[in-house]
Amino acid sequence: MLLRYLILLILPFSDGDKIQKSFLFHGRNLDFKVCISKDLPEAGSTLEATADSIIILDKNDQHTIQVIICDENYYSCTKSDTPGFFIEDMNFDGKEDFKLFESSAKETSNPFFYWLYNPLFNRFEQSPGLEEIMSPVFNKGCKCITSKWNKGSNINGKTTYKYINGILEVTEEIIEENNDGNVYVTTRKQVDGQLKTISKNVLKEEEEEEQ
């Protein structure tokens, strides 16, 4: 279950027209303190928030396990909003991972930074692979990630990803191309570690409408 619990708000210091705040989120086994800087707006207006760092804490004694310095990010919100921070198992290993909203102004269908837990080093590591996926949907039932995408007005597709031996790989892809009144459907699946074309079909427009 995706978690987003705000526990504590701290105001450690103010610097000119900037103020830093810390939000504490509870996971199952760890706590996550998100330290942000905000421009101070007029009452009732929106403001710009930037997450400077994420501090991972032991849930029992609150000692620091890891400090992550965040890449440049931007979050447009109101005074009462919390940072765009979410805790979720995103590689289906039973361990909690997390994502941070990158930018509300960014023209993308995946405006998040992702960090996955590495049990070998007891550390969270950023995942550029997840950041490149368009509109990822995390499906715990099949332990896969699906992405629906399009290229222009006549090509769209659905790509399925899975973690295989800890590596994010494409396991299936269905591409539909509309051309000359027909819909060309190509299905590709991973076979022996490689993505191969399994079938190619042509649908007439009227056949597609009936379906």
**Could you tell me the residue ranges of all domains in the chain?**
1-132, 135-211
Q: What does the mean pLDDT of the chain come to?
A: 82
Q: Which of 36, 13, 14 is nearest to 24 (CA)?
A: 36
Provide the total of helices (H) and of strands (E) in the chain, helices listed first: 2, 16
Per-residue pLDDT tens digits for 142-188: 999 999 999 888 999 999 999 999 999 999 999 999 988 899 999 99
pLDDT digits (tens, 9 = 90+) for 72-112: 776 655 555 566 889 999 999 999 999 998 865 455 677 89
Q: Is the pLDDT score of 43 beyond 60?
A: no
104 to 36, 76, 117, 127: CA distances (angstroms): 15, 6, 25, 20
Instruction: Tell me the pLDDT tens digit for each residue of 111-127.
Output: 899 999 999 999 999 99
On the question of pLDDT at 11 being above 90, the answer is no
